[in-house]
Each structure stands twice: as C-alpha cells, then as structure tokens.
Amino acid sequence: MLDKNDIDKEFKPVVAEVEKGRLLFFAKAIGEINPTFTDEFIAIDNGYSALPVPPTFLFCLKMDVPDPFENYRNLGVSLANMLHAKQSFTYHTPAVAGDLLTFYSHVADIYDKKGGALEFLVEKTKVVNQRDEHVADITTTLVIRN
C-alpha cells in the first residue's frame, strides 16, 4: 500500500544529454516522417538550433538511469503489480540535440479506487535545460493493483 504521506516527496534529479544519434534512432523507431526530426538542415531552416526532440522522447531520457524504477520501489510499489496508466507532456521551449536536461520529479498525488484494490501514483516532472530554461512538464500516472 502506498503512503499518502509521500505526497510532495521529491526524487533525486536525473540529468541526461540529448544526443543526435539517439534522436535519429527514436524518430525512426516511432515512424516519424516529419523531416524536421530527421534532417538537421531542415530543422535549422524551421527555426531550431539543431535536431529537435520528438514528442514523448523526454520520457525515454528520464528513464535513462541505471535503475529507472528505484524511486517507485522506495515508495513500496511492487513492480509486478504496476502499470503505466497515463502520460502527458506540456512543452514550453524546444529541446534539441546537444542540450543537457535536468528532470526534477516529485509525487504529486496518491489516491485509490475500488476500495483500495487500485492505487494511483501521480508523478510530476519539471524539465529544464542547461540554460535553466523551462523545457517541459511531464505528468505520469501509474496504477498499482493490490
């Protein structure tokens, strides 16, 4: 069972570099056909300083740590009973190849349904770049079956 006292608990920040090769691989993997995400010259012609981060790539970067589920286990979440239920992104400024991004996450909410049979953990993450510009906000909702 999750502890509602963990609401507002902050996790250790995650720092990740946006690498051009990974952006190209990700764009190919998701079937991205917009050349802005695959051709640096077109990206620059479209106003970016380098290849931009495709939608949802920030989630991949956030998980790019040696143990991406450590925070959840430390909250008492059984990974065998956890399901990634929902993800949303709000973008404020583009992230591009070469950026160094820091992800600041915290537990935003914990609630249950079905008499506690299902618990929900809402995590909010603020992403900033090396210039301390607010790049994006990520909201992740996990459901844990008890």
Q: Provide the residue ranges of all domains of the chain, joining segments of one domain with +.
A: 4-145
The tokens of 58 are what? Answer: 């920030």
Report the predicted TM-score, pTM, of the whole model to 2 decimal places. 0.93
pLDDT at 34 over 90: yes
Q: Are 140 and 86 in contact (CB under 8 A)?
A: yes
Could you report the per-residue pLDDT of 64-98, keeping only the tens digit for each? 888 999 999 999 998 999 999 999 999 999 999 99
Provide the pLDDT for residue 143. 97
Q: Look up residue 123 and give its amino acid.
A: E
Strand partners, 44: none
The tokens of 57 are what? Answer: 């790539």
Fold for the domain defined by 4-145: Thiol Ester Dehydrase; Chain A (3.10.129)
Q: Are 98 and 18 in contact (CB under 8 A)?
A: yes
